């Protein structure tokens, strides 16, 4: 079955960077976009950007421009989210999601908790 | 950014009764291809969100038919014909036409 399995929880100091991985299985990785969304503790959902795993093209929310970079490794069907210049308000669960088509976010990863604290 | 507003924010429902959630967008979500780029998700406690409805009114695979989505342009509604205990959680709508894609604040459904 289709699965998106994310890397484990991270604790980082302010100013550091973090990489979250999203390993996919059960479908052809290059056929569907991967989205990234985050959720601060007890808060709602915030779209960060997407990557086209086939071409590597990316689109980011302006809020994160310059701090976020999405990448992929097609040889291992894995997408990555790099976030730099971490601040305490970046503390959140980060989700990767498959876009089945037409921005239909049908399969979500289990989430990765990133904590930013001095 | 497009503002997406949900109401109510809290929804206590008796099992077996219907429920309805409204989602309003500050800009039209109707694209020239005739589709409305509006998704509905349910986030059960401690879980990742799951897709319920996409393109405004199409049920996702495996979603019970007691869930339905309707609306066009700026006004959308999610209806549950008969609420069951497993429907407890936070419901989010999300507009996927205007970048940055944005979510509503969430509606917490609880069982009375």
B104: chain A residues, CB-CB within 8 Å: 44
Q: Are B99 and A59 in contact (CB < 8 Å)?
A: yes
Q: Which of A27-36, A97-106, B40-49, B55-64 has the lowest mean pLDDT?
A: A97-106
CA distances from B23 to A3, B1, B3 (A): 29, 16, 10
Q: Strand B102-103 and strand B89-95: pairing? A: antiparallel
Phi, psi (degrees; rounded to nearest 5) at A30: -80, -5
Query: CA B58, CA A22: separation in Å to the nearest integer?
Result: 27
Shortest CA distance from B57: residue in chain A: A104
pLDDT computed for residue A65 by the predictor: 86
pLDDT computed for residue B42 by the predictor: 98
Interface test with B, best of A105, A106, A113 (most B CBs within 10 A): A105
Q: Are A111 and B106 in contact (CB < 8 Å)?
A: no
pLDDT in tens, A8-34: 999 999 999 999 999 999 999 999 999
Query: CA A50, CA A43: separation in Å to the nearest integer?
Result: 21
- In eight-state DSSP terms, residue B55 is T
Share of chain B above pLDDT 70, in %: 100
B101: chain A residues, CB-CB within 8 Å: 47, 61, 103
Cβ of B66: how many Cβ atoms within 10 Å?
A: 15
pLDDT band at A101 (very low <50, low <70, confident <90, very high): confident
Q: Strand A10-12 and strand A78-83: pairing? A: unpaired
């Amino acid at each position: 079955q289709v699965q998106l399995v994310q890397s484990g929880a991270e604790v980082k100091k302010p100013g550091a960077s973090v990489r979250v991985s999203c390993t996919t299985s059960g479908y052809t990785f290059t056929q569907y976009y991967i989205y990234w969304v985050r959720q601060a503790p007890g808060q709602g959902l915030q779209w960060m950007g997407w990557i086209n795993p086939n071409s590597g093209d990316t689109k980011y929310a302006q809020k994160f421009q310059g701090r976020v970079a999405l990448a992929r490794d097609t040889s291992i069907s894995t997408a990555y989210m790099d976030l730099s210049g971490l601040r305490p308000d970046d503390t959140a669960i980060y989700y990767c999601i498959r876009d089945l088509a037409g921005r239909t976010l049908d399969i979500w990863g289990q989430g990765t908790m990133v904590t930013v604290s001095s | 950014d497009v503002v997406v507003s949900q109401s109510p924010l809290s929804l206590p429902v008796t099992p077996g009764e219907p429920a309805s959630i409204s989602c309003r967008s500050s800009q039209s979500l109707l694209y020239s291809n005739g589709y409305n780029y509006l998704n509905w998700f349910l986030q059960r406690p401690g879980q990742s969100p799951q897709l319920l409805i996409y393109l405004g009114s199409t049920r996702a695979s495996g979603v019970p038919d007691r869930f339905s989505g309707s609306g066009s342009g700026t006004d959308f509604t999610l209806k549950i014909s008969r609420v069951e205990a497993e429907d407890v959680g936070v419901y989010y709508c999300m507009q996927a036409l205007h970048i940055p894609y944005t979510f509503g604040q969430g509606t917490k459904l609880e069982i009375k």
